[in-house]
Amino acid sequence: MSTAEKYLKPEVVNQIKRLDLRAQFIVKGFLSGLHASPFHGFSVEFSEHRKYTPGDDPKDIDWLVYAKTDKYYVKKFEAETNITGYLVMDLSRSMGYTYRQELNKFEYAICLAAALCYLMIHQQDPVGLLTFDTKIRQSLRPKARRSHLGDVLSLLANLKPRGATDIARSLVQVAAMLRHASLVMIFSDLLTEPAPVFESLYRLRHGGHDVILFHVLDEAEVRFPFDGMVELQEPEAHEKLALDAASFRPSYLAELEEFRQTYRRECFQAGVDYVPLDTSMRFDRALTEYLVRRSGRG
């Protein structure tokens, strides 16, 4: 069966429609929320302007924008305006987990990726897609055309998280593939040894790329809402462990917090934007984080 035929199966078309509608819903809600939030004015900066900084020529200040926002913005030069984005999706089996949320980690990540794709194409920024487990599996070249959105959504809707993973190796491959400075948006639960991942993030930054790391965990992985005796299974190694939830919870939550803090600290040192999320969070929070980070890089 050809790729086109596979995408045109009714259940896949419905999946793509749902993803398309969900992405539109997320983005529209987010963009309308911007006007009633502390981030009013960022939507202007996001597309064609950046904040005035000492050293800029005062003649470049856009006084119309100042009248609207009461802040100084300068018009971006052509070379500053467009940035190429890559959505980088973790296909590991553990991403398919959910305890009680409507969306598993992977479904949550692809909804967010679809919404970010909408945002970037809306700004005429080209977006590409890379997927990985133990290595890069699929890639779509970046394009800014509205029709490209359909290609990205089709691929996202057909993805299934089912393999083992090697995040560090895959990100090194990403760094080797990218020829020009880009915005690399990574979606992963990061359930692996952190040190090699940090090294690969440093390599991406050394290549001149902006990196946003969306750390997507299930709500249950963040809150540990279990009682009594529970059996936990490591999703990729299939190892099982029986334990008493009440006595295990404090040490688990402390370890999780340390895990996130380590990523926050290392990412800060590397100049990587770290966005910790769980599947109970509203998407607009993640998008706001993204917008704040990106505008801060202007």
**What is the pTM (predicted TM-score) of this model?**
0.80
Q: Which of helix, strand or coil describes residue 215?
A: strand
User: Looking at the structure, do residues 53 and 123 belong to the same domain, yes or no?
Assistant: no
In a domain, 1, yes or no: no
Q: Which domain holds residue 197?
A: 83-296
pLDDT at 6: 46
User: Could you tell me the strand order of the sheet in which 183-188 lies?
Assistant: 136-143, 127-132, 85-90, 183-188, 210-217, 273-278
**Tokens of residue 56, six digits:** 């800029």
Burial code of 3-30, b = ≥16 C-beta within 10 A, e = fewer? eeeebeeeeeeebbeebbebbeebbeeb
User: Looking at the structure, do residues 186 and 67 belong to the same domain, yes or no?
Assistant: no
User: Looking at the structure, do residues 106 and 251 belong to the same domain, yes or no?
Assistant: yes
The 10s digit of each residue's pLDDT in 114-135 is: 999 988 888 888 999 999 999 9
pLDDT at 5: 44
Task: List the pLDDT tens digit at each of the 298 positions of the chain.
Answer: 444 444 445 666 677 777 887 788 787 777 766 655 555 555 554 556 677 777 777 777 778 777 777 777 777 654 455 789 999 999 999 999 999 998 999 999 999 999 999 888 888 889 999 999 999 999 999 999 888 988 998 999 889 998 899 999 999 999 999 989 999 999 999 999 999 999 999 999 999 999 999 999 999 999 998 887 777 766 555 677 777 778 888 998 999 999 999 999 999 999 999 999 999 998 887 888 777 776 655 4
Residue type, 114: A
User: Looking at the structure, do residues 147 and 219 belong to the same domain, yes or no?
Assistant: yes
Give the integer Cα–Cα distance in Å for 199 and 202. Answer: 5
Residue ranges with strand state E in the chain = 49-51, 73-75, 85-90, 127-132, 136-143, 183-188, 210-217, 229-233, 240-244, 273-278
pLDDT at 217: 97
pLDDT at 8: 47
By the 10 Å C-beta count (0-12 exposed, 13-18 middle, 19+ buried), 283 is classed as buried
> Do residues 200 and 135 lie in contact, with contact meaning Cβ atoms separated by under 8 Å?
no
**Percentage of residues in the chain with pLDDT exceeding 70?**
83
> Do residues 64 and 184 lie in contact, with contact meaning Cβ atoms separated by under 8 Å?
no
| CATH assignment at residue 182 | 3.40.50.410
